[in-house]
């Protein structure tokens, strides 16, 4: 397959952002584009969540909401990929336009609103593929659902036996009231219910790890509450973080004031700071996945040194194409060797020691 190189990216840039996104998905789904995966450097292999990762660089949720291109993303060099966020019932999401490129800032703003074809179609696609490579399933709630935890339970019940790990997204800023689930009482209730659902569905079978995805816009109190609840409930991990509603003064792009979640380069520092604090609060006793602003091996290494065992990318793919995974892997391996680490696990949290 040919790389999504500068020429292909330039062509996509002539399209509105959401149209370009769908065009990229179509091309990946039908084998029209991609990148030749480079061999994984042995230094990048790591054991996390009871799973063996050939490398710690993953594709974050949001790109492939309907599990259409999970194998295509694995084939371009990612160590794992996460499909979703998917809701129990199909929903169109928010009115268009709802996706904006902030090219001058290497950033994206979206207010998509959990648009997906629903978990039944999502589950059928996962069930039809061969179980190779590590694939996560990320679930959310429908906009109109009052008992949000019930939607997460419904999603987990549908995908628990089809994915290698599970994620509850409770931090998107684009579904009204969703981020309130990050408060202590709601998140504790949610985690207990989804853990029970997973255990019920997987009785007698190997249980996939279950994680929650939280945002970077947390207060000190919220971070402490989330850390304590995560440890108390026995959830397997946290993904930190989602998009931010903050708008740094450094933004230059004309669409900077659009409503929605900001991702990309401006998110790197605040999301990594939040990650480091939750690592400190949990004492490294729970698996953390670092997400937000990663565009290079140095960025990934910063997440790992802050406490992440795995790292996810998304927005940088918009600007750099599918060769991104291979480049990040090369650079990360060089960072590890430069500092004398022989494996990723030894570097996790090293910036806080």
- How far apart CA 257 and CA 65 sit, in angstroms, is 25
- How far apart CA 319 and CA 321 sit, in angstroms, is 6
172 is catalytic: yes
- How far apart CA 219 and CA 67 sit, in angstroms, is 33
Catalytic residue of the set 75, 116, 171, 172: 172
Question: Residue 52: helix, strand or coil by DSSP?
Answer: strand
275 close to 288: Cβ distance less than 8 angstroms: yes
Residue 102 pairs in a beta bridge with 107
Alpha-carbon dihedral 289, 296, 338, 342, rounded to 10 degrees: 40
233 close to 191: Cβ distance less than 8 angstroms: yes
- How far apart CA 244 and CA 87 sit, in angstroms, is 21
Residues with Cβ within 8 Å of 169's Cβ and at least 6 positions away in sequence, in order, are: 61, 84, 85, 138, 139, 140, 213, 242
Sign of the Cα pseudo-torsion (263, 136, 324, 101, in order):
negative
- How far apart CA 114 and CA 169 sit, in angstroms, is 10
Burial 57-69 (b: 16+ CB within 10 A, else e): bbbbbbbbbbbbb
Q: How many CB atoms sit inside 10 A of residue 145's CB?
A: 18
306 close to 352: Cβ distance less than 8 angstroms: yes
Q: Which residue numbers are catalytic?
A: 172
């Amino acid at each position: 397959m040919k790389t999504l190189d500068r020429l292909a990216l330039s062509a996509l840039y002539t399209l509105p952002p959401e149209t370009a996104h769908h065009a990229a998905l179509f091309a990946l789904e039908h084998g029209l584009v991609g990148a030749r995966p480079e061999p994984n450097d042995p230094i990048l292999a790591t054991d996390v969540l009871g799973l063996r990762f050939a490398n710690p660089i993953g594709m974050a949720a949001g790109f492939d909401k309907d599990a259409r291109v999970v194998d295509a993303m694995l084939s371009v060099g990612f160590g794992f990929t996460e499909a979703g966020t998917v809701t129990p019932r199909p929903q169109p999401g928010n009115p268009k336009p709802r996706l904006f490129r902030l090219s001058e800032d290497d950033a994206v703003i979206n207010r998509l609103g959990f648009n997906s074809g629903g978990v039944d179609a999502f589950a059928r696609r996962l069930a039809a593929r061969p179980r190779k490579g590590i694939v996560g399933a990320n679930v959310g709630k429908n906009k109109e659902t009052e008992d949000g935890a019930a939607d997460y339970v419904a999603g987990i019940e549908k995908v628990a036996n089809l994915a290698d790990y599970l994620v509850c997204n409770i931090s998107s800023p684009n579904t009204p009231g969703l981020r309130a689930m990050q408060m202590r009482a709601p998140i504790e209730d949610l985690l207990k219910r989804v853990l029970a659902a997973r255990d019920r569905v997987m009785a007698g079978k190997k249980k996939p790890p279950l994680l929650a995805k939280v945002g970077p816009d947390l207060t000190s109190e919220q971070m402490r509450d989330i850390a304590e609840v995560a440890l108390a409930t026995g959830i397997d991990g946290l993904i930190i973080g989602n998009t931010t509603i903050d708008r740094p003064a450094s933004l230059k792009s004309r669409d900077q004031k659009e409503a929605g979640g900001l991702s990309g380069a401006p998110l790197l520092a605040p999301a990594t700071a939040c990650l480091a604090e939750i690592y400190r609060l949990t004492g490294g006793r729970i698996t953390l996945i670092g997400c937000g602003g990663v565009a290079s091996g140095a960025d990934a290494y910063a997440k790992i040194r802050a406490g992440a065992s795995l790292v996810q990318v998304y927005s940088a793919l918009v600007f750099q194409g599918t060769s991104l995974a291979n480049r990040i892997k090369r650079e990360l391996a060089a960072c590890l060797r430069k500092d004398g680490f022989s494996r990723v696990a030894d570097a996790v949290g090293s910036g806080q020691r």
